Chain A
Amino acid sequence: MGKIVLSAILALSFSTSLSHAQSTWTGGDDLPTNPLACDGAAATAAAVPYDGGEPTDAPDRKGKTLTVVDVPKLVGIGYFNATSKGIAEAAAEMGTMNAKTDGPSRANIDDQITLIDNYITSGVDGILFAANDPVAISPVLKKALAAGINVVGYDANSQPDARQWFVNQAEFNGIAKSMIDAMAAEIGEDGAFAIVTSTFTTPNQARWIAEMEAYQSACYPNMKWLETVEAQEDNILSFNQANTLINKYGDEMKGILGMTSVATPAAADAVTQAGQCGNVAVVGLATPNAMKPYVASDCVKSVVLWNPVDLGYAAAYVLRAVADGTLQPGATSVEAGKLGELQVINGSEILLGAPFVFTKDNINDFDF
């Protein structure tokens, strides 16, 4: 009997998706979009009042040397090695910050909480963090604020009132603009392209696609959107789907947009193995390490993401500014060293800026 139940469950797991069968075609969601200006002028977002927290009785730290601990999600991986490199660069540049990185050896929220708790006890001036869990990390960050410690997040947020500021690496409309701009530059402003995504209902991907559609129809009205196919987070399926698109459209399709770091390299491999490098452009979101072979072979020219070194660098400058009192609630921008003025968005977040496009010239500088 157990086996019959098992097979019924098996069947159900597939057929429950029937209810989604009427999903939208393009793969975008139905939320309102906020496309950026075609020339890249800063978006005029509605002002949101400051919703971050405040440290209790913080001592005057203006100009003084700060002891800072950076607690990423985990240590020992390329991505967070890059953020901590950025923090170290900023600290060296300022000369008034002793920053060290100390994170859990695996992305575990309990380890991260224990670690932060220990640093509150031992006494630091500032904490930088990338949360493993936005809700679970909040109590210990509030404890740090209550102890008068300046708290700034980057990469992965906590609840807003559990930290002062959060450095946001990229907004949906920013990623959308970079993707479409890069595609237009490669296939022309009247080229046709298709998209390989994870699923139509994956929140981030659906949001990016909706923003891409809005931006493309405003800025490149003659580009042709062929179709969006799903490939789960499955590299071989992504490869097969990209191949099927190439087989279906032939010369008509000039480019493929990959929406995940699984789909983008797989699409690049499909184009490579089909001998279509140069005829079909691949632009996508992906980590540099996954894309190096395809960029090295000139099959892929643009990989869109953000620069984690800059992200760490900006976070360190934001922490310095908040300790100095130069970044106050209600501010609209903050000075971040070589990155210049960074914009305040969503009340208590600081936008890193336009996404970073990895190319043959710079991709080997990154290891994540």
Chain B
Amino acid sequence: MSMAVNLPPVRPQTDHKRPGLLRRIVAEYGQECVVLAAIMLLFVVVTLVNPRFVNANNLVTIFSGNAYIAVAAIGMAMVIMTGNIDVSVGALIGVLATVAGTLAVSGYPIWFALVAPIFVGMAVNTVIGVLVAYAKIPSIVVTLGALSILRGGLISVTGGTWISDLPPDFLIAQKRLLGLPVPFLFMIVLTIAAFLWMRYSAFGRSIYAIGGNPEAAVATGIPVERRLVSVFAIHGAFAGVAAILFATQLQVIQSTVPPNLELTIITATVIGGVSILGGSGTVIGSTLATILFATIGSALIFINVSAYWLRAVIGLLILATVLADMLRRHRRT
């Protein structure tokens, strides 16, 4: 390797001046802070208009209702941080939900029905990862192909029928632990675990390195191809968990998935501050963004505003976020 190497931009925390803790948090997690502030602002405003907004049941709806999207967004954030994208995850979640439901009603043990989607998701995404990392096919192309295959396959295999008669023990997303809804707990625990892992483990740091500067990553001895495959596989595991939360929330499993689910997941990661160009962002941001979506959705109903504004507001948020990201990068270089 004799080529010149662009070192990644110097991170603020290596500064010797060490500004105050709050200043450092805002500097390093700017987008996360913006999203959090937006959530808090919405809560204050809507509660002033209609105090029922903060009743316990509505808090459950807001913080638990989008948990499966947040969990899927964790894996998506990792993929996007490496400078790739996955547009097939919505269809994958649909397939995995059907896998879980089919196993549950076919008499397999509940634990098996709940664990199988995680491994199937890892297997599918390992194939995608190999095509991206070793065959060097752009991830958008591979995953567009996977999207068609998974979506078409799901309809062909199920014939559009729904799965009902699910055993009550299977419906874990309806349960509570320590008084808190299970989807909420999954979201919080997985977000924090992933955040710490990505910040402090060598593997986690290498995800940022691959997306921030692939040549430098190679030069520093990171096995980029292998790591890419692993990241896609981990993303598949998160899709599996998301699929379980999705499949066990209601008493019937549809053979279709919410339209544009993959777009919602990608949007959450982008608004949460994960750079669409790779190399930066956190999963705290993506989780906060899904909570923001749920808050906006609920707020619109509570203050009687048409749901079309939700999409309009989210569209503007994406543009603003991407623009801010570009400006930040421009300033650094």
Contact = CB atoms under 8 A, between A and B. Distances in A.
Contact of A290 (B85, B174, B252, B315): B252
Interface string B157-194: 00111101100000000100000000000000000000
Contacts of B307: 229-230
Contact of A18 (B52, B277, B315): B315
Interface residues of B, number: 58
Contact of A243 (B57, B263, B322): B57
Contacts, number: 156
Contacts of A244: 58, 61, 297-298, 301-302
Interface string B259-280: 1110100110010000011000
B251 interface: yes
A339 to B, nearest CB: 28
Contact of A10 (B256, B267, B306): B267
A164 B36 CA distance: 63
A21 B309 contact: yes
B65 A274 contact: no
Interface residues of A, number: 56
B312 A14 contact: yes
A324 interface: no
A15 interface: yes
B304 interface: yes
Given A14-B267, A15-B319, A244-B298, A293 B165 contact: yes
Nearest to A15: B315
Interface string A35-72: 00000000000000000000000000000000000000
B68 A232 contact: no
A31 B260 CA distance: 29
A45 B51 CA distance: 49
Interface in B134-175: 138, 140, 156, 159-162, 164-165, 174
A360 to B, nearest CB: 16
A17 B302 CA distance: 21
Contacts of A248: 50, 52, 58, 301-302
B246 interface: yes
A273 B174 contact: yes
Interface string A199-226: 0100000000000000000000000000
A241 B301 contact: yes
A293 B66 contact: no
B246 A236 contact: yes
A240 B267 contact: no
B297 A15 contact: no
A14 B164 contact: no
B115 to A, nearest CB: 22
Interface string B63-77: 001101000000000
A8 B311 CA distance: 15
Interface in A240-278: 240-241, 243-248, 250, 262, 265-266, 269, 272-274
A150 to B, nearest CB: 30
B1 interface: no
Nearest to A242: B61
A262 B294 contact: no
B276 A17 contact: no
A298 to B, nearest CB: 14
Interface of A: 2-4, 6-8, 10-18, 20-21, 23, 25, 74, 76-78, 106, 200, 227, 229-230, 232-237, 239-241, 243-248, 250, 262, 265-266, 269, 272-274, 289-290, 292-294
8 contacts: A4-B326, A16-B315, A106-B156, A227-B301, A244-B61, A248-B302, A265-B252, A293-B251
Interface of B: 50, 52, 55, 57-58, 60-61, 65-66, 68, 83, 85, 138, 140, 156, 159-162, 164-165, 174, 246, 249-252, 254, 256, 258-261, 263, 266-267, 270, 276-277, 294, 297-298, 301-302, 304, 306-309, 311-312, 314-316, 318-319, 322, 326
